[in-house]
Amino acid sequence: MTTSAVNTHSKVIGYVLWLFGFIGAHRFYYGKPISGTVYFFTCGLFLIGWLIDLFLIPGMDRQADLRFMPGRLDYNVAWILLAFLGAFGAHRFYMGKWPTGLLYLFTVGLFGVGLLYDLWTLNRQISAINRA
């Protein structure tokens, strides 16, 4: 019997984030924080890597679907909250992490350091919650 991947991540959101891919947004979303950071500091590998990723997104989406645990929390909702309201802790409230959500709310995402941490680890945080 084969196991099939549950759709934990969305190609649509991946392509929307790709529009901002020169800062690595889509790479963070698909659980590739090292290359996301490289893209952030090199403007998408001088835009060449960013253009190549246009064709690599379907593969990154499949890998993320296989790698991350589906469950009660939706990765897409959490990433949208992080992208647009992360400085206010909205994604942390969504995950049920109220103390750090309040801390983010009153410190603008722990002065940005907490937001960087969450860019690197949000997929793993959600997988851990979904596993429980």
Write down the pLDDT at residue 2. Answer: 46
Task: Report d(CA 72, CA 117) in Å as an integer.
Answer: 22
Tokens of 5: 């991947």
Q: Is 120 a domain residue?
A: yes
41 in a structural domain:
yes
DSSP 47: T
Average pLDDT score over residue span 19-41: 94
In a domain, 1, yes or no: no
What length does the chain have?
A: 132
The parent domain of residue 21 ranges over: 11-67
The count of domains in the chain is 2
Residue 2 within any structural domain of the chain: no
- Specify if 4 maps to a domain: no
DSSP 21: G
* Residue 47 resides in a domain: yes
pLDDT at 20: 83
Q: How far apart are CA 116 and CA 119, in angstroms?
A: 5
Check residue 3 and give its pLDDT.
52
Q: Is the pLDDT of residue 21 over 80?
A: no
Mean pLDDT value across the chain: 94
pTM, two decimals, is 0.91
Residue 22: pLDDT over 90: no
3-state secondary structure 66-90: HHCCCCCCCHHHHHHHHHHHHHHCH
